[in-house]
Amino acid sequence: MKKILVVDDSATVRQQVGLALTQAGYAVVEACDGQEGLAMLDKGGVAMVICDVNMPRMSGLDMLENLRRDPRHAAVPVVMLTTEGHPGLVERAKKAGAKGWIVKPFKAELMISAVSKLVGA
Amino acid sequence: MTTNEEIVESLVSESCISLFNDYSLPLKRTEAKTESNDTDLLYCGVVGFTGEQMRGAILLATTREPLGRTSPVNDTSFREWIAELSNQLLGRLKNKLMSRGVLLHMSTPVVLRGQHLTPLTANELKPLVFECEGGVVCVWMDAEIIGGVDLAVEQADSGSISEGEGMLF
Protein backbone atom coordinates (compact mmCIF):
# COMPACT_ATOMS: atom_id res chain seq x y z
CA MET A 1 0.00 0.00 0.00
CA LYS A 2 1.49 3.32 -1.06
CA LYS A 3 2.14 5.75 1.79
CA ILE A 4 1.19 9.41 1.39
CA LEU A 5 2.50 12.14 3.71
CA VAL A 6 -0.03 14.89 4.45
CA VAL A 7 1.51 18.13 5.76
CA ASP A 8 -0.83 20.85 7.08
CA ASP A 9 -1.01 22.88 10.28
CA SER A 10 -4.75 22.20 10.40
CA ALA A 11 -5.57 18.87 12.02
CA THR A 12 -9.02 19.02 10.42
CA VAL A 13 -7.53 19.29 6.94
CA ARG A 14 -5.08 16.47 7.65
CA GLN A 15 -7.97 14.29 8.79
CA GLN A 16 -10.07 15.26 5.79
CA VAL A 17 -7.31 14.51 3.29
CA GLY A 18 -6.37 11.35 5.18
CA LEU A 19 -9.93 10.08 5.05
CA ALA A 20 -10.15 10.61 1.29
CA LEU A 21 -6.82 8.85 0.75
CA THR A 22 -7.50 5.87 3.01
CA GLN A 23 -10.88 5.35 1.38
CA ALA A 24 -9.02 5.21 -1.94
CA GLY A 25 -6.64 2.56 -0.62
CA TYR A 26 -3.59 4.56 0.42
CA ALA A 27 -1.78 4.58 3.75
CA VAL A 28 -1.40 8.02 5.34
CA VAL A 29 1.09 9.66 7.68
CA GLU A 30 0.80 13.25 8.91
CA ALA A 31 2.94 16.23 9.80
CA CYS A 32 1.89 19.65 11.13
CA ASP A 33 4.51 21.80 9.40
CA GLY A 34 7.40 21.62 6.95
CA GLN A 35 9.98 20.78 9.57
CA GLU A 36 7.98 17.84 10.86
CA GLY A 37 7.31 16.84 7.25
CA LEU A 38 11.03 16.56 6.51
CA ALA A 39 11.48 14.47 9.67
CA MET A 40 8.69 12.12 8.55
CA LEU A 41 10.34 11.76 5.13
CA ASP A 42 13.60 10.79 6.83
CA LYS A 43 11.80 7.81 8.37
CA GLY A 44 11.40 6.45 4.86
CA GLY A 45 8.68 4.77 2.84
CA VAL A 46 6.80 7.88 1.66
CA ALA A 47 5.63 7.65 -1.95
CA MET A 48 4.20 11.15 -2.24
CA VAL A 49 3.60 14.37 -0.29
CA ILE A 50 0.49 16.57 -0.14
CA CYS A 51 1.51 19.82 1.47
CA ASP A 52 -0.02 23.11 2.60
CA VAL A 53 1.81 26.36 1.79
CA ASN A 54 1.26 28.72 4.73
CA MET A 55 2.39 26.98 7.90
CA PRO A 56 4.28 28.09 11.01
CA ARG A 57 7.88 27.08 11.62
CA MET A 58 8.52 26.02 8.00
CA SER A 59 6.30 26.79 5.01
CA GLY A 60 5.37 24.28 2.36
CA LEU A 61 7.49 25.97 -0.28
CA ASP A 62 10.52 26.00 2.05
CA MET A 63 9.94 22.33 2.78
CA LEU A 64 9.74 21.62 -0.96
CA GLU A 65 12.99 23.44 -1.66
CA ASN A 66 14.72 21.57 1.20
CA LEU A 67 13.35 18.28 -0.03
CA ARG A 68 14.65 18.81 -3.57
CA ARG A 69 18.15 19.42 -2.24
CA ASP A 70 18.17 16.04 -0.49
CA PRO A 71 19.05 13.23 -2.93
CA ARG A 72 17.16 10.74 -0.75
CA HIS A 73 13.85 12.54 -1.32
CA ALA A 74 14.39 14.60 -4.47
CA ALA A 75 12.24 12.30 -6.61
CA VAL A 76 9.24 12.17 -4.24
CA PRO A 77 6.30 13.89 -5.97
CA VAL A 78 4.82 16.83 -4.06
CA VAL A 79 1.41 18.41 -4.63
CA MET A 80 0.60 21.68 -2.88
CA LEU A 81 -2.83 21.97 -1.19
CA THR A 82 -3.54 25.57 -0.22
CA THR A 83 -5.88 28.55 -0.17
CA GLU A 84 -3.44 30.36 -2.46
CA GLY A 85 -4.18 30.62 -6.16
CA HIS A 86 -1.68 33.29 -7.21
CA PRO A 87 0.06 32.31 -10.46
CA GLY A 88 3.38 33.66 -9.16
CA LEU A 89 3.32 31.25 -6.22
CA VAL A 90 2.24 28.40 -8.45
CA GLU A 91 5.16 29.12 -10.75
CA ARG A 92 7.56 29.24 -7.80
CA ALA A 93 6.34 25.84 -6.67
CA LYS A 94 6.63 24.45 -10.17
CA LYS A 95 10.21 25.70 -10.50
CA ALA A 96 11.00 24.24 -7.09
CA GLY A 97 9.87 20.86 -8.35
CA ALA A 98 6.23 20.52 -7.23
CA LYS A 99 4.12 18.26 -9.40
CA GLY A 100 0.76 19.92 -8.83
CA TRP A 101 -1.35 22.56 -7.08
CA ILE A 102 -4.83 22.24 -5.57
CA VAL A 103 -6.82 25.13 -4.06
CA LYS A 104 -8.87 24.47 -0.91
CA PRO A 105 -11.51 23.33 -0.34
CA PHE A 106 -10.45 20.32 -2.34
CA LYS A 107 -12.67 17.88 -4.17
CA ALA A 108 -11.85 14.35 -3.13
CA GLU A 109 -12.14 12.95 -6.65
CA LEU A 110 -9.71 15.56 -8.00
CA MET A 111 -7.19 14.81 -5.29
CA ILE A 112 -7.42 11.04 -5.70
CA SER A 113 -7.06 11.44 -9.45
CA ALA A 114 -3.90 13.49 -8.96
CA VAL A 115 -2.43 10.98 -6.51
CA SER A 116 -3.28 8.08 -8.77
CA LYS A 117 -1.62 9.73 -11.75
CA LEU A 118 1.55 10.45 -9.79
CA VAL A 119 2.05 7.25 -7.83
CA GLY A 120 -0.49 4.78 -9.17
CA ALA A 121 -3.17 2.98 -7.25
CA MET B 1 -19.81 55.61 -7.33
CA THR B 2 -18.87 52.62 -5.21
CA THR B 3 -16.09 53.29 -2.77
CA ASN B 4 -13.17 51.00 -2.12
CA GLU B 5 -14.61 50.22 1.32
CA GLU B 6 -17.95 49.22 -0.19
CA ILE B 7 -16.19 46.99 -2.72
CA VAL B 8 -14.17 45.29 0.03
CA GLU B 9 -17.33 44.75 2.05
CA SER B 10 -19.03 43.20 -0.96
CA LEU B 11 -16.05 40.92 -1.66
CA VAL B 12 -15.87 39.83 1.97
CA SER B 13 -19.57 39.05 1.96
CA GLU B 14 -19.29 37.03 -1.27
CA SER B 15 -16.28 35.17 0.07
CA CYS B 16 -17.98 34.26 3.34
CA ILE B 17 -21.19 33.10 1.70
CA SER B 18 -19.38 30.99 -0.91
CA LEU B 19 -17.01 29.51 1.69
CA PHE B 20 -19.77 28.28 3.97
CA ASN B 21 -21.80 27.17 0.97
CA ASP B 22 -18.88 24.95 -0.07
CA TYR B 23 -19.23 23.31 3.32
CA SER B 24 -22.98 22.89 2.83
CA LEU B 25 -24.17 25.67 5.12
CA PRO B 26 -26.10 28.43 3.37
CA LEU B 27 -25.67 31.87 4.89
CA LYS B 28 -28.05 34.77 4.65
CA ARG B 29 -26.70 38.25 5.11
CA THR B 30 -28.72 40.17 7.59
CA GLU B 31 -28.71 43.82 8.47
CA ALA B 32 -29.71 43.04 12.02
CA LYS B 33 -27.55 44.92 14.44
CA THR B 34 -25.50 42.57 16.55
CA GLU B 35 -24.39 43.76 19.93
CA SER B 36 -22.00 41.67 21.90
CA ASN B 37 -24.64 40.80 24.44
CA ASP B 38 -27.16 39.71 21.82
CA THR B 39 -25.15 36.90 20.29
CA ASP B 40 -23.14 34.30 22.07
CA LEU B 41 -20.16 34.27 19.74
CA LEU B 42 -17.89 31.57 21.05
CA TYR B 43 -15.05 31.11 18.60
CA CYS B 44 -13.12 33.66 16.60
CA GLY B 45 -10.35 33.18 14.10
CA VAL B 46 -8.09 36.14 13.35
CA VAL B 47 -5.77 36.33 10.35
CA GLY B 48 -3.57 39.29 9.56
CA PHE B 49 -2.52 40.41 6.14
CA THR B 50 -0.23 42.96 4.60
CA GLY B 51 0.62 44.29 1.18
CA GLU B 52 1.54 47.44 -0.68
CA GLN B 53 -2.11 48.40 -1.26
CA MET B 54 -3.86 47.04 1.82
CA ARG B 55 -3.13 45.77 5.30
CA GLY B 56 -5.10 44.74 8.35
CA ALA B 57 -6.85 41.71 9.76
CA ILE B 58 -9.96 39.70 9.19
CA LEU B 59 -11.92 38.22 12.08
CA LEU B 60 -14.37 35.38 11.65
CA ALA B 61 -16.56 34.60 14.63
CA THR B 62 -19.31 32.04 14.97
CA THR B 63 -21.58 30.44 17.45
CA ARG B 64 -21.01 26.74 18.02
CA GLU B 65 -23.52 25.30 15.56
CA PRO B 66 -22.04 26.60 12.26
CA LEU B 67 -18.68 25.04 13.15
CA GLY B 68 -20.20 21.66 13.87
CA ARG B 69 -22.33 21.72 10.72
CA THR B 70 -19.48 22.70 8.38
CA SER B 71 -16.68 20.54 9.69
CA PRO B 72 -15.75 17.90 7.10
CA VAL B 73 -14.70 15.41 9.80
CA ASN B 74 -16.34 14.02 12.92
CA ASP B 75 -15.12 14.95 16.41
CA THR B 76 -13.54 18.08 15.09
CA SER B 77 -11.63 20.48 17.26
CA PHE B 78 -13.55 23.75 17.00
CA ARG B 79 -10.30 25.60 17.57
CA GLU B 80 -8.72 23.87 14.58
CA TRP B 81 -11.72 24.32 12.35
CA ILE B 82 -12.33 28.04 12.97
CA ALA B 83 -8.62 28.60 12.31
CA GLU B 84 -8.89 26.80 8.99
CA LEU B 85 -12.13 28.55 8.04
CA SER B 86 -10.57 31.94 8.79
CA ASN B 87 -7.57 30.96 6.69
CA GLN B 88 -9.77 29.86 3.79
CA LEU B 89 -11.95 32.97 4.07
CA LEU B 90 -8.98 35.29 3.74
CA GLY B 91 -7.58 33.09 0.99
CA ARG B 92 -10.78 33.50 -0.97
CA LEU B 93 -10.79 37.24 -0.46
CA LYS B 94 -7.14 37.41 -1.41
CA ASN B 95 -7.85 35.66 -4.71
CA LYS B 96 -10.71 38.09 -5.46
CA LEU B 97 -8.53 41.10 -4.66
CA MET B 98 -5.82 39.74 -6.92
CA SER B 99 -8.07 40.32 -9.92
CA ARG B 100 -8.24 43.98 -8.84
CA GLY B 101 -4.49 44.35 -8.65
CA VAL B 102 -4.15 43.93 -4.89
CA LEU B 103 -1.64 41.38 -3.58
CA LEU B 104 -1.81 40.32 0.06
CA HIS B 105 0.51 38.26 2.22
CA MET B 106 -1.29 36.33 4.93
CA SER B 107 -0.24 35.43 8.42
CA THR B 108 -1.22 32.17 10.10
CA PRO B 109 -4.47 32.26 12.10
CA VAL B 110 -4.92 32.89 15.81
CA VAL B 111 -8.02 31.63 17.58
CA LEU B 112 -9.91 33.23 20.44
CA ARG B 113 -12.55 31.58 22.53
CA GLY B 114 -14.97 33.31 24.83
CA GLN B 115 -18.45 34.66 25.19
CA HIS B 116 -19.88 37.71 23.45
CA LEU B 117 -16.69 38.17 21.47
CA THR B 118 -16.33 41.47 19.71
CA PRO B 119 -13.23 43.30 18.53
CA LEU B 120 -12.31 46.70 19.94
CA THR B 121 -10.99 48.58 16.93
CA ALA B 122 -9.62 52.08 16.70
CA ASN B 123 -12.45 53.07 14.38
CA GLU B 124 -15.97 51.83 14.96
CA LEU B 125 -16.11 48.66 12.92
CA LYS B 126 -19.40 46.94 12.31
CA PRO B 127 -19.48 43.25 11.50
CA LEU B 128 -21.01 41.62 8.48
CA VAL B 129 -23.66 39.40 10.05
CA PHE B 130 -24.95 36.21 8.52
CA GLU B 131 -27.75 34.03 9.76
CA CYS B 132 -27.68 30.31 9.16
CA GLU B 133 -29.47 27.26 10.37
CA GLY B 134 -28.66 26.92 14.02
CA GLY B 135 -26.50 29.96 14.50
CA VAL B 136 -24.77 33.12 13.45
CA VAL B 137 -21.57 33.97 11.60
CA CYS B 138 -19.92 37.39 11.89
CA VAL B 139 -17.00 38.83 9.97
CA TRP B 140 -15.07 41.97 10.80
CA MET B 141 -12.73 43.28 8.13
CA ASP B 142 -10.31 45.74 9.70
CA ALA B 143 -8.44 46.96 6.63
CA GLU B 144 -6.43 50.02 5.78
CA ILE B 145 -6.56 50.71 2.08
CA ILE B 146 -3.49 52.65 0.97
CA GLY B 147 -4.26 55.72 -1.11
CA GLY B 148 -4.23 55.48 -4.87
CA VAL B 149 -5.61 52.00 -5.39
CA ASP B 150 -8.91 51.76 -7.26
CA LEU B 151 -10.62 48.48 -6.50
CA ALA B 152 -13.37 49.21 -9.03
CA VAL B 153 -10.99 48.35 -11.84
CA GLU B 154 -11.10 44.64 -12.43
CA GLN B 155 -8.24 43.22 -14.45
CA ALA B 156 -8.52 40.65 -17.17
CA ASP B 157 -8.10 37.02 -16.12
CA SER B 158 -5.37 37.05 -13.47
CA GLY B 159 -4.53 33.42 -14.16
CA SER B 160 -5.21 32.35 -10.60
CA ILE B 161 -6.54 28.89 -9.80
CA SER B 162 -10.05 28.90 -8.34
CA GLU B 163 -11.20 27.28 -5.10
CA GLY B 164 -11.79 23.55 -5.52
CA GLU B 165 -9.73 23.40 -8.70
CA GLY B 166 -6.22 22.18 -9.30
CA MET B 167 -3.65 21.21 -11.85
CA LEU B 168 -0.77 18.84 -12.38
CA PHE B 169 2.37 20.28 -13.93
What is the CATH classification number for the domain harbouring A19? 3.40.50.2300
User: Considering the domain boundaries, does residue B122 fall inside one?
Assistant: yes
Q: What SS3 state is found at B56? A: strand
pLDDT at residue number B37: 46
Most B CBs within 10 A among A68, A104, A107, A109, hence the mutation to make, goes to: A104
Chain A residues inside the 8 Å CB shell of B84: 10, 12-13
* Cβ-Cβ contacts under 8 Å, B95 against chain A: 83-86, 103
Rounded Cα distance between B28 and B19, Å, is: 13
Q: How many domains does chain B have?
A: 1
Measure A56 CA to nearest chain B CA, in Å. Answer: 7
Whether B161 is covered by a domain: the verdict is no
| Cα–chain center distance at B121 | 17
Sign for the pseudo-dihedral over CA of A94, A98, A101, A105? negative
Across the interface, which of B106, B161, B168 has its CB nearest the CB of A103? B161
Residue-wise pLDDT for A49-59, tens only, equals: 999 998 989 99
Smallest Cβ–Cβ distance between B71 and the set A12, A85, A111 belongs to A12
User: B42 in a domain, yes or no?
Assistant: yes
**What is the band of B32 on the pLDDT scale with cuts at 50, 70, 90?**
low
Rounded to an integer, what distance in angstroms lies between the CA atom of residue B110 and that of residue B169? 33
**A10–B80 CB contact, under 8 Å:** yes
How many structural domains are present in chain A? 1
- Mutate which of A54, A59, A61, A107 to test chain B, going by most B C-beta atoms within 10 A? A54
Is B95's Cβ below 8 Å from some Cβ in A?
Answer: yes
Nearest partner of B22 among B78, B88, B83, judged by Cα: B88
pLDDT for residue B116: 74
Kindly indicate the confidence band of residue B34, based on its pLDDT and cuts at 50, 70 and 90: low
CA A60 to chain B, closest CA, distance in angstroms equals 13
Strands B105-106 and A3-7 come out as: unpaired
Residue B167, in any domain of the structure: no
Task: Establish if B28 belongs to a structural domain.
Answer: yes
Q: By the CB < 8 Å criterion, does B106 face chain A? A: yes
Chosen for mutation from A28, A62, A86 (greatest number of chain B CBs closer than 10 Å) is A86
For residue A38, give every residue at least 6 positions away whose Cβ sits within 8 Å of its Cβ, in sequence order, or none: A58, A63, A66, A67
pLDDT tens string A39-50:
999 999 999 999
Most confident of A66-80, B39-53, B123-137: A66-80
Question: Which of A11, A102, A114 comes nearest B77 by C-beta?
Answer: A11
The shortest CB-CB distance from B161 to any of A101, A107, A114 is to A101
Q: What pLDDT is stored for residue B126 in this prediction? A: 86
User: Quick check: B159 pLDDT over 80?
Assistant: no
Res A89 pLDDT > 60: yes
DSSP chain A: --EEEEE-S-HHHHHHHHHHHHHTT-EEEEESSHHHHHHHHHTS-EEEEEE-SS-SSS-HHHHHHHHHH-TTTTTS-EEEEES---HHHHHHHHHHT--EEEESSPPHHHHHHHHHHHH--
pLDDT tens string B86-122: 999 999 999 999 989 899 999 989 999 887 777 777 7
More confident residue, A107 or B115: A107
Print the domain residue range for B104: 4-145
**Structural domain contains residue B45:** yes
Angle between helices A60-69 and A34-42 (to 10 degrees): 30
Does residue B140 register a pLDDT over 60?
Answer: yes
How does the average pLDDT of chain B come out, rounded? 88
CB contact under 8 A, B90 and A83: yes
Residue B11 lies in a domain: yes
pLDDT the model gives residue B42: 81
Give dist(CA B101, CA B136) in Å, integer.
Answer: 32
Assign B1 a pLDDT band (cuts: 50, 70, 90).
Answer: low
Structural domain boundaries, residue A40:
3-119
DSSP character for B32? -
Percentage with pLDDT > 90 across chain A: 92
CB pairs under 8 A between A and B: 102
Contact B106, B89 (CB under 8 A): no
Q: What is the distance in angstroms between the Cα of B36 and the nearest Cα belonging to chain A? A: 28
Of B22, B80, B160, the CB nearest to A11: B80
* Burial per residue of A80-108, b for 16 or more beta-carbon CB atoms within 10 angstroms, e otherwise: bbbbbbbeebbeebeebbbbbbbbbbbee
